[in-house]
Amino acid sequence: MQSIRSIALATLISCVSLAGPLTAHAQDTLYPARGQQIPPPDCMNLHFAWEGPLQAPCTTFAHERWLRDIQHWRAERRIRVAYDPSRYSLPALQWTQSSFMQPQMMVHDRYFYDPVAGRYTVDRYLDDLEKRYGGIDAVLVWSTYPNMGVDDRNQLQMVESMPGGIEGVRRMVADFHRRGVRVLFPMMMWDEGTHQPDQPWPDAIAALMKQIDADGINGDTQEGVPLGFPLAAEKIGHPLAFQPEVSLSDEDLAWDVMNWGQYNFPFIPMVDRYKWFETRHMVNISDRWNLDKTDDLQFAFFNGVGWESWENVWGIWIGITPRDAEATRRVAAIERAVAPFLVSSDWEPLYPMHTYGVYASRWPLGNDTLWTIVNRAGYLIGGPQMDVPLTPGMRYFDLYHGTELKPQSPEFKPQITELKPEINGQTAVLSFEMEANGYGAILATPGEPGDAIKALMRRMAEMTKKPLADFSHQPTILHQTIVATPSTAPAAEAPDGMVKIPGGSFDFKVLGTEIEGSASPGVDVQYPWEDSPRRFHEKVLQVAPFFIDKFPVTNAQFKQFLSATHYAPSDPINFLRDWKDSGFPQGWDNRPVTWVSLEDARAYAKWAGKRLPHEWEWQLAAQGTDGRLYPWGNVWQPSYVPTPDWGRSMRGPNSVDAHPLGASPYGVMDLVGNVWQWTDEFTDEHTRAAIVRGGEYYQPQGSIWYFPDTMRIDEHSKLLLMAPGYDRSGGVGFRCVRDAQQ
């Protein structure tokens, strides 16, 4: 077989021909980055007949010329930005350099928090990941979006609202640390429409992270986290690892020691620009919506970086398939065992390999050398794979399969003279198998490998007995169930303050307002008549007659409930947060009660002999049977609802009877534009969520990412649930219904 290293020098012309147009865009390199990735030499790409003369594969000289070019670019860029690498040597940040597997974890995940027991279940969460794909090194605990903006709590107050408050969160972080997992929280600098912190954002964020002993910060939507943030953390003696989501400038690499990689994935893996600039920099590749994670894992393994193993995406389950889970287990096992190699300053990406479709990175460390290898082809590739120096005493180990390899002499001796000279001027060939879309790792070491490598090889030999192709690659969509709502004692006549809805045939048509997810399977909710969650819903229902509160439950009514029952929630965080000294503010008696959880609302309804409405009951009461967009008709009338509040702090809702022109066809009042109203709850294995209806007066400004407000009757919003203290909101109230005799 002809070696890639031995192709004639003349083929280099086609690679160099790109220099002309490229230099117009980047004076310091022939291979400017495409986004976050540095491309390979063009001669590595397949060229087809319609693109001009066919090319032969790259020569050794072409590879070395490409490598020298990007090395020169790196050296020059470091000079241009006066690069200071000192933060990568800080003991407090060393963990980042081996933080390969990092999920973004929604705090609403039922594996993380048990709402029935009212406690964090970190061990359950980690045990599940360990069982399914080999565990994690760090976790991004996501506590804000998509709920943020339903009231005026800012991103830090959302953390403080988690079960147990700050002390409870600190103990939760300690549970992760006990298992060797580092903890990051997000920061959203787009959050400029909610409550203003008492100190500058860098100081406020650093102070909270120190209180809870977190390890790092993910900069949501940020193109580099500015230096002021790490300086604020270091000033109070608690250095944090900062991880921008989007991109970095070269200067940012001096203080942002991590970032996400949101790549395009061509067939030939490209070189991560930031990892190349600073090999100790950690990238976690994130591709949240793709059901197939092969690209993520292969590009991570090739670049010696990590993966954002994100499955619960804003409450939408995009679970890792069994094949991807097993590949993750293998990739993670190897990367963790060879982590010191993967920060080598002598990294050589795209080390020449024999066969198109197989790509490798070479990682020298002292007298040893590691290669991380991926097979991008969808078929098995075996036989001769790579040339290596024929050095006395050097042994070669296939870490992926857990076996030792015996170097073989090249088939064509005359070609050896064209290879770059090694220690003794000779090379040998290593042969091994690469699974379809699979992985490989080769270690060259003089003499006997160490105990850690031997342990890895034993583990990998056992794991790879079963090929990846034997594992299912079929994604799973989690099915949801609607939480049952017990019926009430039926009433013959309308109870005081209630309106009768006659029921009958109702065309229930509604769509979800989620900001992300498009029309993908799993978005929004699954009604009992549907076979999966989806954003668009329509069903002709036969609705039994019922009575519904004419107005939302008011502060005065809720006070009566408290006086009669002495109700005290087990989770008191944020309970009636806008009340003072066990009473509502003066003049608020007829305003809708807020800062009540779904559980609080159900307790009131049970005391009153009522229940919360099903969503289709709420919509029928608001819409009638003519499909109107608003309770009063099809044309928006701003004077029929409260004036929007665009401030940083909520002023409080209007009285429930302040806008009589907003009545529905049945005379039901205050349905839209004042406060959201609780309706049905939906659950799947990982997430709880409630549908809230009607929109609200509070509309924080400055970002598209705040909780989507809608006052149209044919739209609903999904509020993720965690725990009562976290779920309570100044923008959510409720009204009740009672079943009617038929």
pLDDT in tens, 507-517: 999 999 999 99
- Closest-CA residue to 368 (of 444, 453, 302): 444
For 145, the enclosing helix (H) or strand (E) is none
Q: What percent of the chain has pLDDT over 70?
A: 94
pLDDT at 136 over 70: yes
Q: How confident is the prediction for the chain on average, in pLDDT?
A: 93
Furthest-apart CA pair in the chain: how many Å?
A: 101
Q: List the beta bridge partners of residue 717.
A: 692
pTM score over 0.75: yes
Q: How far is CA 347 from the centre of its chain?
A: 29
Task: In whole angstroms, give the CA distance from residue 659 to residue 631.
Answer: 12
Mean pLDDT is lowest, of 46-50, 101-105, 594-598, for 46-50
258-299: pLDDT as tens digits: 999 999 999 999 999 999 999 999 999 999 999 999 999 999
- pLDDT digits 0-9 by tens, 525-535: 999 999 999 99
Examine the pLDDT at 423 and tell me if it is beyond 60. no
pLDDT on residue 222: 95
Report the SS3 class of residue 673. coil
Both structure tokens of 323:
């094949």
Q: Return the closest-CA partner of residue 90 out of 248, 301, 242.
A: 242
pLDDT in tens, 449-506: 999 999 999 999 999 999 999 999 999 999 999 999 999 999 999 999 999 999 899 9
Domains contained in the chain, CATH given:
98-340 (3.20.20.80), 481-500+547-739 (3.90.1580.10)
Mean pLDDT lowest among 286-295, 409-418, 702-711: 409-418
Whole-number Å distance between alpha carbons of 217 and 214: 8
Q: What is the pLDDT of residues 305-343, one digit of tens each?
A: 999 999 999 999 999 999 999 999 999 999 999 999 999
pLDDT of residue 54: 64
The residues, any chain, with a CB within 8 Å of residue 594's CB and separated by 6 or more, are 578, 653, 675, 729, 730, 731, 732, 733
| Nearest Cα residue to 621 out of 676, 569, 663, 563 | 663
Take residue 372 and report the two structure tokens written for it.
């991380």
Angstrom distances, CA of residue 5 to CA of 60, 149, 384, 545: 5, 58, 13, 80
Helices (H), 497-585: 555-565
Q: Which three-class secondary structure state does DSSP give residue 431?
A: strand
pLDDT of residue 42: 87
- Amino acid at position 482, single letter: I
- Answer with the residue of higher pLDDT: 427 or 610: 610
Structure-block tokens of residue 182: 């580092």
Closest listed residue to residue 319, CA positions, set 169, 599, 598, 521: 521
| Per-residue pLDDT at 587 | 97
Helices 451-463 and 322-337, axial angle in degrees (round to 10) = 170
Tell me the pLDDT tens digit for each residue of 163-207. Answer: 999 999 999 999 999 999 999 999 999 999 999 999 999 999 999
pLDDT at position 56 is 64
Whether residue 26 is predicted with pLDDT greater than 60 in this model: the reply is no
For residue 59, name the pLDDT band (cuts at 50, 70, 90). confident
- The mean pLDDT of 126-144, rounded to a whole number, is 98
pLDDT digits (tens, 9 = 90+) for 622-641: 999 999 999 999 999 999 99
Q: What's 302's DSSP letter?
A: H
DSSP H stretches of helix in 256-359: 273-277, 294-303, 322-337
H helix or E strand, kind and range, residue 385: strand 384-389
Rounded distance, CA 239 to CA 242, Å? 9
Q: What is the mean pLDDT of residues 38-59?
A: 81
pLDDT, mean of residues 646-654: 97
Checking if the pLDDT of 522 tops 90, the result is yes
Burial of 61 (0-12, 13-18, 19+ CB in 10 A): middle
Q: What tokens does 19 get?
A: 């220099």
Is a pLDDT exceeding 90 seen at residue 19?
A: no
User: Are 392 and 407 in contact, with CB atoms under 8 Å apart?
Assistant: no
Sequence letter at residue 49: A
Q: Give the whole-angstrom CA distance, residue 273 versus residue 249.
A: 11
Q: How far is CA 432 from CA 381, 401, 405, 442, in A?
A: 9, 9, 8, 10
- Residue 499 CA to residue 387 CA, distance in Å, equals 83
Whose CA is closest to 183, among 218, 152, 227, 223?
218
How far apart are the C-alpha atoms of 662 and 670, rounded to whole Å?
A: 7
- Token representation of residue 212: 């809870």
Neighbours of 17 (CB within 10 A): 11
